[in-house]
Amino acid sequence: MGMTITEKNMARHAGLDVVKPGQIIECHLDAVLMNDITFPPARKEFLKIGKPVFDRHKIYLVPDHFTPNKDIQSATQAKVMRDFVREHGITNYFEVGRMGIEHVILPEKGLIGPGEMMIGADSHTCTYGAVNAFSTGVGSTDAGVAMAEGKTWFKVPETIKVELIGKPNKWVTGKDVILDLIGQIGVDGARYMALEFAGEGVQHMTMADRLTICNMAIEAGGKCGVFPYDEITEEYIKGRVNRPVEPINPDPDAVYAQTITIDLSKLQPVVAFPHLPSNTHYINEIDKDIKIDQVIIGSCTNGRYEDLVAAAEIFKGRKVAPFVRCIVIPGSQDVYDQAMKDGLLDIFIQADCAVSTPTCGPCLGGYMGIMAEGERTVSTTNRNFRGRMGHVDSEVYLASPYVAAASAVLGRIAGPEEV
């Protein structure tokens, strides 16, 4: 009996020939990731063990949630990380000015590659399945122990195959694919399962699309999301991942718990209404009179260069609607720099957008985009739970950069074709 991509990856890192769903295994890790919120409690657990870090080159520390620091508490959290980096000689630490959103900069800098395995004390660590890796979010306790041991335990998940067929129409992005999937199966439809994307439609998913799709596997309850290794993966890692890698593709006789088919040619832009990512609606089904107060374009889900290009296509020669604030947040310094050189920032500024330094701030209701009671935001982020981005009686609508930008221009939830 063959294995899925996730099963083969787990078997490799556990030193086993075969693994099966439900099996408890211990795996050696290629990397451990933490941010400014999750690192301080992880450090406490690490210190209890009394060992040095397992490999100072394989621990990735990124202060991105409350940085640049918004208050004394966030500055203190960042200092705890900074002091640890100095003490242990951590090489992959990304200070303000050289940093970005963790799930944007790690693939960008080739810190995770095909066939590798990592954990991160952040639920959206599942992003890296886009480059054919196994990656998943864990708690700070598990991350702290892994810093010392270089390994952790897993229960092998079952796998759902998501068969992509057809070719997407203009304006349809990876964000629409994953929102459509979550709308079909619900926020617990893939609970502790791997989402493996397959089919002829995969060739139409750019790496930016794949990173967005895998990023939101957790919003379906997934343990991870993963794409096969193909020409798109190979081209992306070229010049980024400067070490030998061993890609993994599924066996022809791999066994799946379920197969779901998505016809990309039938997709439209999708919007997730409050207060769940599964409360999805196609753009042509939406009331044309849902007024908004704010738009956020950025985050680990849609803060990549391609996302800014999409937004700029809509904003060029247009203005943000009166009484609407639009905040654009490049996902990394490299994204910021490229957007500046290519004139995207000029387009945003001339459209009356505010452009921020890379940060996760607004996504988790931290800062740089908090809502007051009764306000509505269209956001390219990943969660729209009640109170996620501000007051408990505010509302978050999740959408692609195309829809977010069009909504900013018209002052209501709108599709790109409307502008």
| 326 Ramachandran zone, left/alpha/beta (phi>0; psi -120 to 50) | beta
**What gap in Å lies between CA 388 and CA 370, rounded to an integer?**
9
Interhelix angle 39-49/72-88, nearest 10 degrees: 40
Contacts of 253 (CB under 8 A, 6+ apart): 1, 2
Gyration radius of the chain's alpha carbons? 20
**What gap in Å lies between CA 342 and CA 223, rounded to an integer?**
37
Contacts of 47 (CB under 8 A, 6+ apart): none
Tell me the two tokens of residue 200.
């002829």
Q: Residues 145, 138: contact at Cβ < 8 Å?
A: no
- Tell me phi and psi for residue 109, to 5 degrees: -95, 5
- Tell me phi and psi for residue 329, to 5 degrees: -130, 100
- Tell me phi and psi for residue 151, to 5 degrees: -155, 165
> Any bridge partners for residue 383, and if so which?
none
> Any bridge partners for residue 165, and if so which?
263
**What gap in Å lies between CA 303 and CA 325, rounded to an integer?**
18
> Any bridge partners for residue 326, and if so which?
295
**What gap in Å lies between CA 84 and CA 56, rounded to an integer?**
11
Q: What is the DSSP code (8-state) at residue 372?
A: P
224 is in an annotated binding site: no
| 369 Ramachandran zone, left/alpha/beta (phi>0; psi -120 to 50) | left
Q: What is the DSSP code (8-state) at residue 166?
A: S
Peptide bond connecting 114 to the previous residue in cis, omega within 30 degrees of 0: no
**Residue positions in the annotated binding site?**
300, 360, 363
**Residue positions in the annotated binding site for [4Fe-4S] cluster?**
300, 360, 363
